[in-house]
Amino acid sequence: MSYPVLDTQISPEGRLDVLSKVEVSKLLDTSHGGLYTVFRHCTLAVLNSGNALDDGKELLDRYPDFSISIIHRERGIKLDIKNAPASAFVDGVMIKGLQEHVCAVVRDILFLNSEIEGNPNFDLTSTSGISDAVFHILRNANLLHPLVNPNLAVCWGGHSISGGEYDYTKHVGYQLGLRGINICTGCGPGAMKGPMKGAAIGHAKQRISNGLYLGVTEPGIIAAEAPNAIVNELVILPDIEKRLEAFVRLGHGVIVFPGGAGTAEEILYILGILLHPDNADIPFPLVFTGPATAADYFQQIDQFIGATLGPRAQTRYQIIIDNPESVAQQITKGISEVRAFRKSTSDAYYFNWSLKIPGEFQQPFLPTHQNMKLLQLHKNQEDYLLAANLRRAFSGIVAGNVKAAGILSIEQYGLFELSGEKGLMESIDALLTSFVQQQRMKLPGKSYVPCYRVIK
């Protein structure tokens, strides 16, 4: 099947209107380890915004002739884009927001390569070095603003949710917007788009003209979760671990909507961090919420957390069903507590330096078949370490579901295998089975073939 495409040239704005010859050569380097592949993939992903697709490999297969190159002109540079998805254009002109997202791709891909990777100033083997790298990536994207009161709610949830669940995320976003709260999500569709859409209406009613709708992504997931149309600031982190760290360093509270394996990964990430002894006294509002139809979903999530991480983990969040106003009120109250704490400890409002993020949550996990098989899935370890290993398990499943490299690995070597303590494996299997039955692994209408096997 062929898909309509268009060619165009666009001029980047701001700091990217000129590039050095070295930067251009890096972006167009097609050799092994060169930047062109990731540059091309990320650009194609942002131009595919709004299309119902959650398969990174399928996106590349749909547009095999897509290309992007850089032309030097007297007044700066132009990006020469060929065979781009026609949906990225209106009357032959690329949508302005998508042009901005393409520029964000150029900015972040260059910065990661030139300033972060291989830079001796950043020790990416240490916890402090990784956090410092995340700080610099966010600062380079102009996302860290001093003298601004805490007001950023991170919203997590699935890309494959029902219409009722999607509408509910908009209602929550609307209530947040009315209270002047900005929104940060993984930038994709579903529960990542709804809160932004609702908040935009709330902000408009309050005559807030500078509302922030921040999308945080990474090269491996961006093709499956293309930035939605509401995102007005986009930042690309180098991997899922730094992406997750960016969420909790930037955000002043987290709201979790229904989702699948990726949402479970995010829940395990934040709970694992909050369970670390050094974070026991740090306020961090965490609310699980959904419409009345999602009550059973969150009951199952709560049972899974209790069965795996224990009752202490269950005290770190509250579940609010079918009450958007209460969610917004609780998050607003929690953010006020965050502000008071940051002020008393002289911590920045714009970057949560006080939060201890153990190395187990920072070091990139490569979901190979061997690494998945060797995960330590047993309760004979600290609860936060178990959370770290469970997060890796769900991260691998996400890779096998939607990431191009993970899908290819499954095609070549078969299913990932997860094994460990019997009771733990039964809990994991029950949760994953419910996700499949509720069609939370793939977009509605698409059949799901598991990429994993749970050995009990």
> DSSP 3-state assignment of 307?
helix
CA distance 205 to 384: 42
Which domains occur in the chain, in start order?
5-117 (3.30.1850.10), 123-456 (3.40.50.450)
pLDDT in tens, 253-293: 999 999 999 999 999 999 999 999 999 999 999 999 999 99
Residue 178 confidence class, pLDDT cut points 50, 70, 90: very high
CA distances from residue 307 to 42, 261, 303, 339, 455 in whole angstroms, order as listed: 39, 17, 6, 33, 18
- The dihedrals phi and psi of 78, each to the nearest 5 degrees, come to -130, 145
Output the pTM of the full model.
Answer: 0.94
- Taking 70 as the threshold, does the pLDDT of residue 74 lie above it? no
Q: What's the mean pLDDT in 117-143?
A: 94
Predicted confidence at residue 15, as pLDDT, reads: 63
Predicted confidence at residue 54, as pLDDT, reads: 67
Kind and range of the H or E run holding 155 = strand 152-156
Burial class of residue 129 (count of CB atoms within 10 Å of its CB; 0-12, 13-18, 19+): middle
Q: Which residues are CB-neighbours of 31 under 8 A, at least 6 positions away?
A: none
Q: What's the mean pLDDT in 424-429?
A: 95
Question: Tokens 């009771």 appear where?
Answer: 423
Residue 403 confidence class, pLDDT cut points 50, 70, 90: confident
- Taking 80 as the threshold, does the pLDDT of residue 347 lie above it? yes
CA distance 40 to 81: 10
- Taking 90 as the threshold, does the pLDDT of residue 428 lie above it? yes
Predicted confidence at residue 17, as pLDDT, reads: 67
> DSSP 3-state assignment of 189?
coil
- Taking 70 as the threshold, does the pLDDT of residue 127 lie above it? yes
Give me the percent of the chain exceeding a pLDDT of 70. Answer: 97
CA distances from residue 164 to 140, 160, 161, 296 in whole angstroms, order as listed: 38, 12, 8, 15
pLDDT in tens, 6-16: 999 988 776 66
Predicted confidence at residue 65, as pLDDT, reads: 93
